[in-house]
Amino acid sequence: MEHLLQNIEKANHIEIVTSKEFICGADALYTYILTRHKKVSFVCKEELGYRYSFLPWFDKIKQTDTPSADFRIDFCFFSLELFLFFDTIGVSINKKMAISLCAGLIDETDGFSNERVSGIVFASVEKLINYGAEYQKAYDFLMRYHSLAFLRLKSILLQNMILQKEATVAKFILLKTDLERSGATSEDAKEIIKEAFTLPYVKTIVLVDEDNNQIKKIEKGIEIEKKK
């Protein structure tokens, strides 16, 4: 990652290209690049939705590439990795960076519930709060706030959930009409199905389309297979 920072120093116009999975860390890097007095563009071609709208640079994110940039960063770092690197080399963490990094730790651990949770994560959150991260705001947006369309689809999917293999597998079938009726998206569905893990015996969740093509398969919060 040191090589990345060296290239940032040499560039005039930097383009950050990332996916929704790494959007919070990319937002923190955007702030860092601005502190280096560089021109920077921020690209994510996936739909992000309301839950990320609290991020400091959400309004700067676009879905088209920036041909004028002379250095492109394909950002695929988890927020903990980025924070620990910044912390190690003594980068000053301002409030905007703290908010983005703290949000990343919440988002990437599914609200501190998946395999990425560790003592280092909690210690890092504490540091970021001391740097000015609005933890409660980030948690509410990422883990509690949902659109009406999301809630409508949640009702449909949970009502039609099928338990298989002695209730250890929860199967969801996502119909096109479900999306049309609710106004939600397939990305919403991928979040909703995780609710099945609140059932005591469920270990695996499968989401399929109306032709029985697998969209997503997760096991105890870990995505292990995904097809489109």
The CATH number of residue 36's host domain is 3.90.1640.10
**Do 157 and 95 have their domain in common?**
no
Contact 179, 186 (CB under 8 A): yes
pLDDT of residue 49 exceeding 90: no
Please say which residue of 129, 144, 159 terminates a domain.
144
Look at residue 206 in the predicted model and tell me its pLDDT.
Answer: 95
Are 201 and 192 a contacting pair, CB within 8 Å? no
Owning domain of residue 215: 148-226
Q: Are residues 107 and 193 in the same domain?
A: no
Sorted by sequence, the CB contacts under 8 Å of residue 191 that are 6+ apart come out as: 150
What integer is the mean pLDDT of 10-38?
Answer: 97
Same domain, 132 and 168: no
27 and 92 belong to one structural domain: yes
Residue 204 has pLDDT above 60, yes or no: yes
The stretch 13-30 carries a mean pLDDT of: 97
- pLDDT at position 226 over 80: no
**Model pLDDT for residues 126-179, shown as the tens digit of each residue:** 999 999 999 999 999 999 888 899 999 999 999 999 999 999 999 999 999 999
> Both 130 and 154 in a single domain?
no
Pull the structure tokens for residue 215. Answer: 């969209």
Residue type for position 75: F
- The share of the chain scoring above pLDDT 90, in percent, equals 81
CA distance 172 to 192: 10
Cα–Cα distances (Å) from 198 to 89, 127, 143, 192, in that order, read: 40, 30, 15, 12
**Are 153 and 91 found together in one domain?**
no
Angle between helices 119-130 and 95-108 (to 10 degrees): 150
Q: Write the CATH number for 206.
A: 3.10.310.30
User: What is the arithmetic mean of pLDDT over 48-73?
Assistant: 94
Same domain, 173 and 86: no
Residues 60 and 158 in one domain: no
Residues 119 and 154 both lie in one domain: no
pLDDT for residue 223 is more than 70: no
Beta-strand runs (E) in 75-128: none
Segment among 78-92, 115-129, 162-176, 205-219 with least mean pLDDT: 205-219
pLDDT reading at 228 higher than 50: no
Sheet with 204-209, edge to edge strand ranges: 162-164, 169-174, 204-209, 214-219, 222-226
**Residues 137, 179 within the same domain:** no
Of 82-86, 122-126, 141-145, which range is least confident?
A: 141-145
A 10 A CB-CB count for 66 gives 18
- The count of domains in the chain is 2
The C-alpha atoms of residue 22 and residue 13 are separated, in whole angstroms, by 21
* Same domain assignment for residues 127 and 140: yes
